[in-house]
Amino acid sequence: MIKGSCHCGAVRYESAGKILRFVNCHCDDCRKISAAACSPVVAVTSKGFAVTQGEDRLVAYESSPGKFRNFCGNCGSHLFARVAAQPKLILIRAGTLDDDPGIKPQAHIWVSAKVAWHDICDDLPQYAEWLPQ
């Protein structure tokens, strides 16, 4: 079980679902929304994921067709995303985790969109776009 929350504490979530992967995403959307060089994302199964507090505070934003990013309407923290084409998947923004997920990032994705001023200084695999299937 991992738990997380927004900056102000109004929204809390938990996931008892399986962690599928942990990646650092460098796509334009993740960079702009996180205001950082990349966004660490923990993908979990939707089964076992629940908003435990403040569901009425969540605001969803469709950042690309069928991808809904969920934010706290009070403090603006980007907590997780849902993709309509993958209803069994939740993409948790790792920076909002309150617990150690017990796994470290496994790869960098969308490196083709990486900003020039950021150097990747680890030995993790790098993929131009998505992870290979």
Question: With 0-12 CB in 10 A as exposed, 13-18 as middle and 19+ as buried, what is 110?
Answer: buried
Q: Confidence band (pLDDT; 50, 70, 90) for 51? A: very high
Confidence check: pLDDT of 82 > 90: yes
Residue 71's φ and ψ, nearest 5 degrees, are: -120, 155
Q: Confidence band (pLDDT; 50, 70, 90) for 121? A: very high
Instruction: Give pLDDT tens digits for 101-119.
Output: 999 999 999 999 999 999 9
pLDDT value of residue 133: 72
CA dist 120 → 25, 70, 115, 130, 131 (Å) = 12, 27, 10, 17, 17
pLDDT value of residue 132: 83
Instruction: Give pLDDT tens digits for 90-103.
Output: 999 999 999 999 99
Q: Which pTM does this prediction carry?
A: 0.92
pLDDT value of residue 131: 86
CA separation for the pair 130, 64 (Å, rounded)? 15
Cα R_g (the chain), whole angstroms:
14
The three-class DSSP label of residue 86 is strand
Closest CA to 40 of 7, 71, 78, 83: 78
CATH of 2-113, one of 1.10.30.50, 3.30.1490.20, 2.170.150.70, 2.60.40.10: 2.170.150.70
Q: Where are the domains of the chain?
A: 2-113
Mean pLDDT for the chain overall: 95
Does residue 30 contact residue 80 with C-beta atoms inside 8 Å? no
Question: With 0-12 CB in 10 A as exposed, 13-18 as middle and 19+ as buried, what is 33?
Answer: middle
